[in-house]
Structure 1
Amino acid sequence: MEWRGTAILLSVRRHGETSAIIDVFSEEKGRHAGVVRGGASRKVAPILQPGAQLDVAWRARLEDHIGSFVVEPVRSRAALVMGDRLALSGLNAVTSILCFCLPEREAHGPLYRRTEQLLDLLGQNDVWPLAYLQWEVALLEEMGFGLDLSACAVTGATEDLAYVSPKTGRAVSRTGAGTWVDRLLALPDVLRGVGDAPDIEVAQALETTGYFLNNHLAPDLGNKPLPDARARFVDAFTRTV
């Protein structure tokens, strides 16, 4: 069994004295693990940096075996995050969340393409937090927890939408909120793709998407806690707002 393609490196861990086990995310094969022989060597280890774009060739005797990878660098993103706390924490958030939520060997083509585009924006801190927010919204959609922000869940109105139901992920208007207002999540305009997307709104929107990641997606995956890397990125970003 074998396949070859371009993939994003998500994680690396030492395997024995000289090898490494890597997790990659490819457009057609999804999240896929394999052994890199010599992955701990001085020649190969610098290539195996999370976020790197790799050309990978996977081979195994049987399809359900972990198999082995031969890797070639396509694009390193290490220079984009070196010395940049926000970019580094953002990269770690993306790779950690994908390792956390993606089922192994299940294709998620649209999410892969969006992830590649997001990582190519690393270091552009004026646009990256907004792109990251949009990526989280797409991730929730891909995982089956998409937000429906088109109309009020109570009145059907499409104007004055200000809240999100924490239970259903649907928008709620100020009128429809009624006495439940204190139990609803914020719906800043940026979350609906409206307005100039100031950083303060992006930070508010990340609180809302974070609620669904922690309270809907994580429980669906066996109540595993969401990786701390996301909280570190959100904290690094909010300190700049």
Structure 2
Amino acid sequence: MHVEALAIVCAVLGHGEHGAVVRLMTPEHGLLAGYVRGGRSRRLRPVLLPGNVVQAEFRARTEEQLAALTVELAQSRAPLHSEPLAAAAIDWATALTATALPEAQPYPRLHAALDGLLGAIEAAPVARGWAAALVRYELLMLSELGFGLDLSACVASGAREDLAYVSPKSGAAVSRTEGAPYAARLLPLPGFLIDGGGAEWDALFDGFRLTGHFLERDLLTGRQAGVLAARERLVARLKRMVG
């Protein structure tokens, strides 16, 4: 096994006295893990920050063996880790990626979306500039792993207009007319997930509520559920900011 790629740092776990097991998201090979000798050293700690892009080289004698990994910094997002909201968003997006994806399976759409999301966090002057991209990334993650929502038409009538809700059981869209009598039992469907573009905070929090329901129910279960704490911290900070 020999892979060279530009990759996004998603998770770093200390191993032994000085080393670290690092999970990177690559464009063609998906999530890959490798052992970095001296990964917790003063030199490599600022390189192995979640969200950074590194030039990575994995080498292993067999596919089953944990690869030896060497890295060189290609793009640093270290300054964002001193900004609480940006840091929380990066921590959640990369933790979700490292936890939910099977290793060594290609997900080029997810790699591109994660790279775009991190770029939006870096470029946007305020959190509302990247919050919609984060909700869409969660939605794409569900879809790529087989738990996609059907937001194309109303599950009850087949109508494609005025979709306002999602069934928490089926994950299918429901029109405003069909869903009105059951609104208290349905999840709001914010318009930006249908029409694209940005959104106001009420719609963004509806989006987080929607994707969070299905992430918790279908994807992050059992031992993986612990990663949801990073998401809860992020959403709580966003709500405090909005007031």
SS in 2 for 1:120: helix
Range that drifts further, 2-11 or 126-135: 126-135
- What is aligned with 2:184? 182
* CA distance, structure 1, for counterparts of residue 132 and residue 232 of structure 2: 16
Is residue 37 of structure 1 aligned with residue 37 of structure 2? yes
The answer on whether the counterparts of 1:214 and 1:226 sit within 8 Å (CA) in structure 2 is: no
Amino acid at match of 1:229: A
* CA distance, structure 2, for counterparts of residue 133 and residue 52 of structure 1: 21
Give the alignment of 1:23-172 within 5 angstroms.
Answer: 23-82=23-82, 84-123=83-122, 124=124, 125=126, 126-172=128-174
The answer on whether the counterparts of 1:52 and 1:78 sit within 8 Å (CA) in structure 2 is: yes
The answer on whether the counterparts of 1:97 and 1:226 sit within 8 Å (CA) in structure 2 is: no
Identity across the alignment (%): 39
* CA distance, structure 1, for counterparts of residue 158 and residue 143 of structure 2: 22
- What is aligned with 1:209? 211
Regions of 4+ moved over 6 Å: none
* CA distance, structure 2, for counterparts of residue 98 and residue 80 of structure 1: 19
C-alpha deviations, 1:40-82, integer Å up to 9, x for none?
2222222111111000000011121001001010001111232
Amino acid at match of 1:135: Y
Q: TM-score, normalised by structure 1?
A: 0.92
What root-mean-square deviation, in Å, do the aligned CA atoms of Structure 1 and Structure 2 show?
1.7
* CA distance, structure 1, for counterparts of residue 41 and residue 162 of structure 2: 58
Q: TM-score, normalised by structure 2?
A: 0.92
The answer on whether the counterparts of 2:129 and 2:198 sit within 8 Å (CA) in structure 1 is: no
In structure 2, list runs of 5 or more residues that go unmatched: none
TM-aligned CA distance change 1:25 to 1:186, over 3 Å:
same
The answer on whether the counterparts of 1:213 and 1:226 sit within 8 Å (CA) in structure 2 is: no
TM-aligned CA distance change 1:168 to 1:59, over 3 Å:
same
Amino acid at match of 1:236: R
SS in 2 for 1:103: coil
Amino acid at match of 1:93: W
* CA distance, structure 1, for counterparts of residue 21 and residue 61 of structure 2: 17
C-alpha deviations, 1:129-169, integer Å up to 9, x for none?
11111111111111111122121100111222211011121
Amino acid at match of 2:240: R
TM-aligned CA distance change 1:195 to 1:25, over 3 Å:
closer
In structure 1, list runs of 5 or more residues that go unmatched: none
SS in 2 for 1:68: strand
